[in-house]
Amino acid sequence: MKYFTTPIYYVNGNPHIGHAYTSIAADILSRFWRTIEGEKVKFLTGTDEHGQKVAKSAEKLGIKPLEFCDKVSMEFKNLTSILNLSNDDFIRTTEERHKNTVIKMWNILLKNGYIYKDFYEGWYSVKDEAFVPENEVKDGHDLSGNKLEYLKEESYFFKLSSMQDKLLKFYDENKDFITPSFYMNEVVSFVKGGMKDLSISRTSFDWGIKVPNDEKHVMYVWLDALCNYISAISYDNPDKIDFDQDLWDNSYHLIGKDILRFHAVYWPAFLIAAEINPPKKLIVHGWWRCNGEKMSKSLGNVVDPIEVIKTYGLDQFRFFLFKESVFGTDCNFSVEHFKTRINTELCNDFGNLIQRVFVLALKSTENSTFIFSRNYDDHDIVDYVSSVSDLKDNLEKFMKDARLTEYLKEVFEKISLANKFVDKMKPWELLKTDLDKFKKVITALIDSIIEFSAYLYPYMPETINKVFATLNISIDGYMKNKNIDSVVISKPTPLFKKID
Ligand code: MSP
């Protein structure tokens, strides 16, 4: 059983490559564990709809905040289809099920003595919905140059300062809480540096969840937003937070490195204070840049995932995102690299392998049924079969650690071995000279193609369904019963188009 989540996305910007990247990563993990490993999986995504930024965007358009949120949230819902995400839930922070959970969380924190009322005075970034310490402010701007607001208002506070020891103990006892592990160092040194109490309510606007019994306050948007992960697995119990504990004990939050502190410090602090265990793991990824530069509207280099998908295809995009960079570190988007990878790895290496093998197999049959012949005696065939036999173990290991790029590399190394095997065995000649050996070579290759395809399914589900359909089988059927002795082959059509 596993529970994968994406961050819930702010509704005041258009869907961009960052959203696509986090979401597809969660989709790959979900599909792997659900379809390939047969586990029960819940996959959640959604939208983060409260806060000053959203209120301002709605005001600019002269509409009510909820009307604005309905519209943009729908765009994010559409994005889940455009990206072919297999999420089985979509949460909005404006839903009752979420608001109820957040209010219960507030009441527990209050009851446990972690909330008090005072005044907040200091800088606030509306862009990041974050309080900015004085040493990170220069002429009213943060270190990235974003304009800040100076706030002075009554506020409720969460006793974050009292959480230092508990958090450090938690990190110490859960050394693999964050992957890749180097992000852990950053978090530990932040917490060791000492933390001030966190302001968790605002009074200068009202687009948010109202604080119980003090309705001029709305809750800080991050406290609200983080609770979504629990709201979505909560049962409808009016008295307490009552949720699917098994799912929670196996929960994995996918996040970009920019929101690490919220997830690795504030979220566990709220949970520990509420006597709830933190999630099992944070899976953190780096940032995409474009041609070496930070993506920004003013530079005009923002990659629009919908455009890329329309032009080059969804599975090509999904493949590229995870093959191009090492998942966890920063990455660079370049159309030239994109084209090269599609043409060489997808068209030449993977697509052609399938096309060549299926066409030859079909040629050798009378009624399109290819009967497998696995009594291998030839040492070239035996060597080949053994060279690809460790695939399953290697891939499971990579997926357990969310090493999504190494996983893909491993599959493509095996694909390259298969291509070398074809070139060496020259099955088109065997078809004329040694039918018995031909059948064995093709059997070994079809077995590999089915296995490579199954393992590529999480990354390129549509394409792989096509491969399976050409063999008149389905991935679900195959995963349930791998003992196939024959396949009916339909005429294959090329899986990928070359890009000029
Ligand atoms: N609403 C908060 C999350 C609350 S979760 C309780 C938020 N929303 S967001 O819309 O800004 O989410 C952005 C996601 O996209 C984050 O995971 C972020 O890391 C990711 N990216 C945004 N720009 C990105 C790149 N240029 N590259 C890769 N991912 C980046 O934060």
DSSP string, 389-404: TTHHHHHHHHHHTT-H
Residues 162-190, mean pLDDT to the nearest whole number? 97
Residues 281-309, mean pLDDT to the nearest whole number? 88
Grade residue 13 by pLDDT with cuts at 50, 70 and 90: confident
Residue 91 has, within 13 A of its CA and on its CB side, a CA count of 26
Q: Which residue has the higher pLDDT, 446 or 13?
A: 446
Residues 285-301, mean pLDDT to the nearest whole number? 84
In angstroms, what is the span from residue 53 Cα to ligand 1's centroid?
15
The ligand 1 atom at the shortest distance from the C-alpha of residue 228 is 6
- Residue 492: the pLDDT is 96
In angstroms, what is the span from residue 9 Cα to ligand 1's centroid?
7
Contact 1, 250 (CB under 8 A): yes
Residue 1: count other Cβ atoms within 10 Å of its Cβ.
12
Quick one: what percent of the chain has pLDDT higher than 70? 100
Grade residue 292 by pLDDT with cuts at 50, 70 and 90: confident
Residues 312-332, mean pLDDT to the nearest whole number? 95
Contacts of 249 (CB under 8 A, 6+ apart): 277, 280
Measured at the alpha carbon of residue 470, what is the angle toward residues 466 and 476, in degrees to the nearest 5?
A: 65
CB of 331 closer than 6 angstroms to any ligand 1 atom: no
Quick one: what percent of the chain has pLDDT higher than 90? 92
Q: Which of 11, 12, 19 to mutate to test the pocket of ligand 1 (most atoms within 8 A of CB)?
A: 19
Q: What b/e string do you get for 68-92 counting C-beta neighbours within 10 Å, with b at 16 or more?
A: bbeebbeebeebbeebbbbbeebbb
- Residue 15: the pLDDT is 83
In angstroms, what is the span from residue 17 Cα to ligand 1's centroid?
10
Measured at the alpha carbon of residue 395, what is the angle toward residues 394 and 398, in degrees to the nearest 5?
A: 90
Give per-residue pLDDT as tens, 323-366: 998 999 999 999 999 999 999 999 999 999 999 999 999 999 99
In angstroms, what is the span from residue 241 Cα to ligand 1's centroid?
27
The Cα–Cα gap between 386 and 240 comes to 55
In angstroms, what is the span from residue 251 Cα to ligand 1's centroid?
19
The Cα–Cα gap between 79 and 407 comes to 26
Amino acid at 218: V
In angstroms, what is the span from residue 207 Cα to ligand 1's centroid?
21
CB of 270 closer than 6 angstroms to any ligand 1 atom: no
CB of 9 closer than 6 angstroms to any ligand 1 atom: yes
β-partners of residue 153 are 120
Grade residue 136 by pLDDT with cuts at 50, 70 and 90: very high
CB of 321 closer than 6 angstroms to any ligand 1 atom: no
Q: Which of 258, 320, 330 to mutate to test the pocket of ligand 1 (most atoms within 8 A of CB)?
A: 258
Least trusted range by pLDDT, from 39-53, 86-100, 256-270, 299-313: 299-313
CB of 18 closer than 6 angstroms to any ligand 1 atom: yes
- Residue 2: the pLDDT is 98
In angstroms, what is the span from residue 244 Cα to ligand 1's centroid?
26
CB of 208 closer than 6 angstroms to any ligand 1 atom: no
CB of 430 closer than 6 angstroms to any ligand 1 atom: no
- Residue 417: the pLDDT is 98
- Residue 438: the pLDDT is 98
CB of 31 closer than 6 angstroms to any ligand 1 atom: no
- Residue 234: the pLDDT is 97
Residue 217: count other Cβ atoms within 10 Å of its Cβ.
22
- Residue 200: the pLDDT is 97
CB of 7 closer than 6 angstroms to any ligand 1 atom: yes
Q: Does residue 7 have a cis bond before it (omega within 30 degrees)?
A: no
The ligand 1 atom at the shortest distance from the C-alpha of residue 263 is 6
- Residue 104: the pLDDT is 97
Does residue 467 have a pLDDT over 80? yes
Residue 203 has, within 13 A of its CA and on its CB side, a CA count of 15
Residues 263-274, mean pLDDT to the nearest whole number? 98
- Residue 291: the pLDDT is 81
Does residue 476 have a pLDDT over 80? yes
- Residue 128: the pLDDT is 86
Grade residue 290 by pLDDT with cuts at 50, 70 and 90: confident
In angstroms, what is the span from residue 256 Cα to ligand 1's centroid?
6
Residue nearest to atom 29 of ligand 1 (CA): 18
CB of 260 closer than 6 angstroms to any ligand 1 atom: no
Contact 422, 353 (CB under 8 A): yes
CB of 8 closer than 6 angstroms to any ligand 1 atom: yes
The set of long-range contacts for 345-352, using a CB threshold of 8 Å and a minimum separation of 24, is 345/319, 345/412, 346/316, 346/319, 346/495, 346/496, 347/494, 347/496, 347/497, 347/498, 349/412, 349/415, 349/416, 349/419, 350/412, 350/415, 350/452, 350/456, 350/495, 350/496, 351/494, 351/495, 351/496, 352/419
Q: What is the mean pLDDT of the chain?
A: 96
In angstroms, what is the span from residue 403 Cα to ligand 1's centroid?
20
- Residue 294: the pLDDT is 84
In angstroms, what is the span from residue 388 Cα to ligand 1's centroid?
38
Grade residue 6 by pLDDT with cuts at 50, 70 and 90: very high
- Residue 300: the pLDDT is 80
Residue 329 DSSP code: B
CB of 200 closer than 6 angstroms to any ligand 1 atom: no
- Residue 267: the pLDDT is 98
Residue nearest to atom 6 of ligand 1 (CA): 226
Contact 92, 46 (CB under 8 A): yes
Grade residue 263 by pLDDT with cuts at 50, 70 and 90: very high
- Residue 127: the pLDDT is 86
In angstroms, what is the span from residue 119 Cα to ligand 1's centroid?
30
Does residue 296 have a pLDDT over 80? no
CB of 102 closer than 6 angstroms to any ligand 1 atom: no
Contact 229, 9 (CB under 8 A): no
Whole-prediction pTM: 0.96
Does residue 170 have a pLDDT over 80? yes
CB of 226 closer than 6 angstroms to any ligand 1 atom: yes
In angstroms, what is the span from residue 257 Cα to ligand 1's centroid?
9
